[in-house]
Structure 1
């Protein structure tokens, strides 16, 4: 670790107390990496192993999306461009493209939407192939994500077994999301488009789990047998108290990890809503 396990800001002492008490009640085998930051003026932050490098699962699709939109901004990619899907491109896991007919035609905007909304692995691999893995990693470094790296495509089980996994940190994902929220990357319009896509995520088992159904949440989840993660923007108090939250849980079952992320998210939401 490069930072203390827990760091905080003075205005958020009540939040720190509740989160710390919850985390200390978890079994010792449970590993949680977490970063929380207010996007309003009160500068409340909470970090718990926030700089730890963790397996990203599908959360790595966030920087892939950013590089795609930066390519659009540079005039090097048109989201209306058509890609012709082949059977050889299809992979398993999450997503719907694996059920499409060979030679189906789909534009890059829809590929992007499927990658983020349904975590479609086939769409992700097509986009990674289009952009280039090293180009995506260069973007990751350019915006200051020091603990994140794309090392393989989705469903590449051989690479995973050989130790070539994809990595992020909770702090890195909050940094990326804040840059999108504050329109500090791509263009204002493209940032807003990214947020609207993230708000459509169909996986509601983590950050949104215990929150009121009418709360807007722009987020990206990830899941592997050994990690469950979620990173997003929660628009608490009808958007007047938005906050960033990224949580990764290892060492427990996926179902237990989802409960932990949901409960941590609820503690944060309750604090920022009152």
Structure 2
């Protein structure tokens, strides 16, 4: 039987009162001498049986340093599907088919519930596509997302997804379409494919180098910090997109780990199903800390 790691046994509320450095020191003590695979396998094997976790992580300096668990399993994407929507928007900018400074006239019929602030805007408010893009990612605004889906086209977004080699990620519905979800028309991603998408943005292999930089800058400003960033050392930069539904919590991002003055960035996508949101956030945070501890080693 594998002993339960020290950090894994802490209660959900730990972290609000204990400095992140304490967590990092604890994690170093539990992972010293372990490979990445040993550390993460020991962690997921002690999770409750009802917790279904998918993990994909990889160093951006050495691709051989990686770990995958259920990484090719399709999982409900929640708002993480907004990453490929962002990509299609930026590809349209590159092609001269979308001007981010153009103004969109918001109508009441476009507003939808869930996360975001556009639903509170007045009818016929003027919003630039640049702001719509930022709202979609930083505040996970569902109204902004649906505007992009409707204007870019679901088929075009899915074709873009296929064109970069992602075979399992699929946009099947707009945000907050509960009827479609009940009928089984869900949006799907895999953790491996979200890492692949983020790596292409990081390495400037899509859109243009400048647009890739803009995408990363937007993702660095995401307001939801309850999952991947939650236990990392203060000041750690994370370019990521989260997603939450009652039955799934996910996060996919680029983590800029540090060893002294040297950056050691890595990719990390984690989805957790079958447990309450707060528990899923704790699990994702602990996976992220284990990965950070490993990749930040000199």
TM-score (norm 1): 0.94
Match of 2:198 among 177, 202, 206: 177
> Which of the residues 102, 105, 118 maps onto 2:139?
118
What 5-or-longer segments of structure 1 have no aligned partner?
1-11
The one of 142, 155, 167 aligned to 2:163 = 142
1:196-221 per-position Cα deviation (integer Å, ceiling 9, x unaligned)? 00000000000001012301100000
- Distance in structure 2 (CA, Å) of the matches to 1:147 and 1:257: 23
Q: Distance in 2 between matches of 1:19 and 1:130?
A: 41
Structure 1 equivalent of residue 108 of structure 2: 87
- 1:78 pairs with 2:99: yes
User: What residue number does 1:14 align with?
Assistant: 35
1:78-135 Cα deviation digits (max 9, x unpaired)? 0011000011111110000001111100000000000000000000000111100000
Q: Is residue 138 of structure 2 the alignment partner of residue 103 of structure 1? A: no
Q: In 1, distance between residues paired with 2:142 and 2:233?
A: 29
Is 1:163 aligned to residue 155 of structure 2?
A: no
Deviation at 1:41, TM superposition (A): 3.0
Distance 1:215 1:169 in 2: 25
How many equivalent pairs are there?
263
CA RMSD of aligned residues (A): 1.1
How far the C-alpha of 1:240 sits from its partner, in A, is 1.6
Q: Structure 2 CA distance, aligned partners of 1:47 and 1:141?
A: 22
Off by >6 Å, runs of 4+ in structure 1: none
Rg larger in structure: 2
Instruction: Say if 2:236 is the partner of 1:215.
Output: yes
Structure 2 Cα separation of the partners of residues 42 and 130 of structure 1:
37
Could you list the runs of 5+ residues in structure 2 that have no partner in the other structure?
A: 1-32
Offset, 1:273: 1.4
TM-score when normalising by structure 2: 0.87
Residue 276 (structure 2) pairs with residue 253 (structure 1):
yes
Look up the match of 1:27: 48
Q: Give the match for residue 225 of structure 1.
A: 246
**Cα distance in 2 for residues equivalent to 1:128 and 1:114:** 14
Equivalent-residue separation in structure 1 for 2:288 and 2:77 (angstroms): 19
Distance in 1 between residues matched to 2:63 and 2:92, nearest whole Å:
34
- Structure 1 residues 73 and 22 mapped into 2: Cα distance closer, same or farther (>3 Å)? same
> Alpha-carbon deviation of 1:43?
2.8
Q: Partners of 1:162 and 1:30 in 2: how far apart?
A: 24
